[in-house]
Amino acid sequence: MFPYSTVIFDLDGTLLDTLQDLCDSANYALSLHQMPTRSLDEIRRFVGNGVGLLIHRAVPAGTPEEVEAQCLADFRAHYLLNMENRTAPYAGVLELLDGLNQAGIRLAVVSNKFDGAVKGLCQDYFGDRVKVAIGESQGVARKPAPDTVFRALKELGADAQGAVYVGDSEVDIETARNAGLPCLSVSWGFRDADFLLQRGAQRIVPSPADLLALLTGAAN
């Protein structure tokens, strides 16, 4: 009935605005090790490839591997306890998910955030709206590898035909390409429309309401 029967969403910058909590936990870890803290705009540029690379980019160049590893561990511990301090769904996202569910479209979230955080955030903010949530875990390659997308499709009982990937970053564009899925890029998240177009975005969606109309065939 609709253009798509399955939607695979990115999480950070697409469904949830997590940037401030990520920044706070990164700066907590940096401060523990007497390292300079980072601005919100710097953290915005560092996210998208998992928390390991976030911390690698945040610590000063030349930081010993063992110190970086401890900084990452401190970040993870702090973030798990503080990941909902200032995080919230973007305006219109809950209505988007409700509308997709009402249309009978299967939904999943795949993220480079560690798996426990992904599952916890999705349960707390979306409840039963999202049936499958997959994050970074041992033995599963993180995005832009397509592994988490394929796992999500399998858990949903869906195949790639009729599926679309929705994300806010260049990593998401590449992930969709690697998975063989069409990609819809949203401009309300961590990257703006110009940046996304320069990285190969094929279609930019400016709001959750526009995305709902497009995904359910209601758009003109």
Give the catalytic positions in this structure.
10
The pairing of beta strand 16-17 with beta strand 88-89: antiparallel
**In sequence order, what are the residues at sequence separation of 6 or more whose Cβ sits closer than 8 angstroms to the Cβ of residue 13?**
19, 47, 48, 167, 168, 169, 189, 190, 191
Enter the tokens of residue 109. Answer: 């979230």
Cα–chain center distance at 201 = 16
Q: To which residue do tokens 């993220």 refer? A: 111
Calculate the dihedral angle through the C-alpha atoms of 19, 25, 29, 31, rounding to the nearest 10 degrees: 80
